[in-house]
C-alpha cells in the first residue's frame, strides 16, 4: 500500500483497488486445484495479508494448488461468508471469528475473548498445542457446520481507539456510542457504553456524522487508511476489550477432504508460516504509521488509563460468568484457556526481563 492509497475506494470495499491487487496472484494450471477464498477485506493491509497466505500456498504447491482471493462482498456479504463456505457456495473464507459469533458466543473465545494475562501469541499456542483446535472442531460439530478452520496471524492488542476528547478516567466512558464487534460489545455494554457494531468501511463516516462518539478497528495502519485522523485527534492505545485476535481461514470440509494429503499439509503449513510473516511485517507497518499519525497528521497518542482497563477486566468477569452459566461449552473452552494461560504465563512472566526498562534506558 502506498502513501497515496485511494481512501474512497477503501471505504467502499474497493472493487477497483481490490480487483487490481487480486488480478495477479492466482492463475491455476489446467491440471491443478483451485480454491476460491473470499476475504472480509476490501483493501488495505488485511487484504494484503489474505493475499500473502494465498501466495504461500500457491508457491509451496508449485501451481498444483491455487487459492484465488476474492475481495469483500465479491460473492456474498461478510455476515454470510461462513454459511456460504458451509454450503459450498465459497470454497473458503478469510476473516475473524468475531464476525460470526452470533451463532455461538464461544466463537469469540477463539480470538477475542477475555485476557488471562496472555497475548495473541499465547492464544495461538493454546490453539496449536493446548487443545484449542480440538475444541474448535468440536464447536463446528455442535453447530453442524461443514467447515474446517486454520488460525494464523497473531495481532498485537487492539487500541482502545479514537475519541473526541482525551480519556483519563473510566467515568468518561459512560454513555458513549462506541463501535466494536464480537464479545467485546457485551463487555463494553457492561461498562455503561452504548455499542454499535459496524463494518470497517462505515466507521469513519459514522463518527464524522455523529452516529458514534468513539470507535476502534484494529491497528494504526488500517485506522490511518480509513481516515480516522480526520475525525479525531485523540488516539488511545492498549485495551483489554480485544487484546488478542488472529485470522481464521475456513474451508468447506468436503472440499478440503477431497484434497490430496500433500495439499492439506501445504495449507496447514502455509497457515503456520503466515504467523511469522504477519507479525514481523505488520508490526513494522503499524509502528511506522503510528509515527505518521503523530508527526504528519497531528494526532495525540495516549496509553489508555489503568482505570479503564481495570473496569474492562471487571466487566469481562461479569459477562463471561453470565454466559458460562448458560452455555456449558463456553465454560469448557474458557477453563481450557485458563489452565493453559496459568502455566505458560507463569513461566513467561518469571522469565521475561522488563523490556520497557531496557527501552527507556536507550530511548527515554
Listed by start position, the domains of the chain span: 7-154+244-286
* Residue found by looking up cell 497457515 in the block: 271
- Bridge partner residues of 162 (DSSP): 215, 235
Question: Is 179 marked as binding a ligand?
Answer: yes
70: region left, alpha or beta (phi > 0 left; psi from -120 to 50 alpha): beta
pLDDT (tens digit, 9 = 90+) per residue, 280-314? 999 999 999 999 999 999 999 999 999 999 999 99
Task: Quote the pLDDT of residue 200.
Answer: 79
| Topology at the third CATH level for domain 7-154+244-286 | D-Maltodextrin-Binding Protein; domain 2 (3.40.190)
Task: Quote the pLDDT of residue 4.
Answer: 34
3-state SS string for 178-243: EECCCCHHHHHHHCCCEEECCCHHHHHHHHHHCCCCEECCCCHHHHHHHCHHHCCCEEEECCCCCC
Task: Quote the pLDDT of residue 17.
Answer: 36
The answer to whether residues 249 and 46 touch, using CB atoms and an 8 Å cutoff, is no
Q: Which positions of the chain have pLDDT values less than 50?
A: 1-30
β 92-95/234-237 pair status: unpaired
Question: Measured in whole angstroms, how far is the alpha carbon of residue 262 from the centre of its chain?
Answer: 28
Cα separation of 5 and 1, whole Å? Answer: 6
Cβ neighbours, 10 Å, residue 43: 29
Q: Is 337 helix (H, G, I), strand (E, B) or coil?
A: helix
* Residue 290, H or E segment: helix 261-295
Cα separation of 282 and 221, whole Å? Answer: 9
* Residue found by looking up cell 530511548 in the block: 363
pLDDT (tens digit, 9 = 90+) per residue, 219-260? 999 999 999 999 999 999 999 999 999 999 999 999 999 999
Task: Quote the pLDDT of residue 31.
Answer: 53
Question: Is 295 marked as binding a ligand?
Answer: no
Q: Which of 274, 258, 250, 252 is nearest to 59 (CA)?
A: 274
Q: Is 114 helix (H, G, I), strand (E, B) or coil?
A: coil
The answer to whether residues 108 and 248 touch, using CB atoms and an 8 Å cutoff, is no
Instruction: Please report, for residues 76, 158, 235, 236, 309, the alpha-carbon distance to residue 304 in angstroms, rounded to integers and kept in the order given.
Output: 37, 11, 9, 5, 7
Q: Is 257 helix (H, G, I), strand (E, B) or coil?
A: helix
* Lateral strand order in the sheet of 161-163: 194-196, 177-179, 214-215, 161-163, 234-237, 300-303
Question: Measured in whole angstroms, how far is the alpha carbon of residue 60 from the centre of its chain?
Answer: 25
Torsion of CA 36, 280, 79, 69, to 10 degrees: -20
Q: For the whole model, what pTM was predicted? A: 0.89
Question: Is 202 marked as binding a ligand?
Answer: no
Total residue length of the chain: 364
Question: Is 158 marked as binding a ligand?
Answer: yes
Cα separation of 111 and 93, whole Å? Answer: 16
Question: Is 242 marked as binding a ligand?
Answer: yes
The answer to whether residues 220 and 155 touch, using CB atoms and an 8 Å cutoff, is no
Amino acid at each position: 500500500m502506498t502513501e497515496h492509497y485511494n481512501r474512497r475506494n477503501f471505504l467502499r470495499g474497493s472493487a477497483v483497488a481490490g480487483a487490481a491487487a487480486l488480478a495477479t496472484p492466482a492463475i491455476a494450471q489446467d491440471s491443478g486445484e483451485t480454491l476460491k477464498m473470499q476475504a472480509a477485506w476490501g483493501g488495505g493491509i488485511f487484504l494484503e495479508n489474505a493475499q500473502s497466505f494465498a501466495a504461500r500456498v500457491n508457491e509451496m504447491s508449485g501451481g498444483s494448488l491455487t487459492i484465488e482471493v476474492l475481495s469483500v462482498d465479491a460473492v456474498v456479504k461478510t455476515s454470510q461468508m461462513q454459511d456460504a463456505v458451509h454450503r459450498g457456495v465459497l470454497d473458503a473464507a478469510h476473516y475473524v471469528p468475531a464476525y460470526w459469533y452470533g451463532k455461538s458466543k464461544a466463537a469469540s473465545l477463539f480470538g477475542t475473548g477475555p485476557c488471562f494475562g496472555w497475548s495473541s501469541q499465547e492464544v495461538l499456542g493454546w490453539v496449536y498445542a493446548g487443545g484449542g483446535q480440538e475444541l474448535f472442531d468440536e464447536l463446528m460439530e455442535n453447530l453442524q457446520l461443514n467447515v474446517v478452520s486454520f488460525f494464523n496471524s497473531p495481532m498485537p492488542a487492539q487500541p482502545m481507539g479514537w475519541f473526541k476528547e482525551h480519556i483519563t478516567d473510566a467515568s468518561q466512558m459512560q454513555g458513549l456510542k462506541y463501535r466494536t464487534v464480537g464479545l467485546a460489545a457485551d463487555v463494553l455494554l457492561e461498562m455503561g457504553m452504548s455499542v454499535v457494531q459496524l463494518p470497517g468501511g462505515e466507521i469513519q463516516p459514522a463518527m464524522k456524522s455523529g452516529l458514534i462518539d468513539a470507535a476502534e478497528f484494529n491497528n494504526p495502519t488500517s485506522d490511518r487508511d480509513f481516515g480516522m485522523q480526520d475525525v479525531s485527534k485523540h488516539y488511545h492505545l492498549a485495551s483489554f476489550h480485544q487484546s488478542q485476535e488472529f485470522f481464521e481461514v475456513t474451508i468447506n470440509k468436503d472440499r478440503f477432504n477431497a484434497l490430496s494429503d500433500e495439499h492439506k499439509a501445504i495449507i496447514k503449513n502455509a497457515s503456520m508460516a503466515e504467523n511469522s510473516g504477519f507479525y514481523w511485517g505488520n508490526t513494522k507497518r503499524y509502528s511506522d504509521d503510528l509515527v505518521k499519525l503523530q508527526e504528519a497528521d497531528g494526532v495525540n497518542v495516549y496509553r489508555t488509563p489503568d482505570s479503564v482497563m481495570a473496569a474492562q477486566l471487571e466487566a469481562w468477569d461479569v459477562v463471561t460468568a453470565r454466559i458460562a452459566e448458560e452455555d456449558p461449552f463456553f465454560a469448557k473452552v474458557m477453563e481450557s484457556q485458563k489452565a493453559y494461560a496459568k502455566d505458560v504465563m507463569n513461566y513467561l512472566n518469571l522469565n521475561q526481563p522488563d523490556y520497557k526498562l531496557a527501552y527507556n534506558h536507550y530511548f527515554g
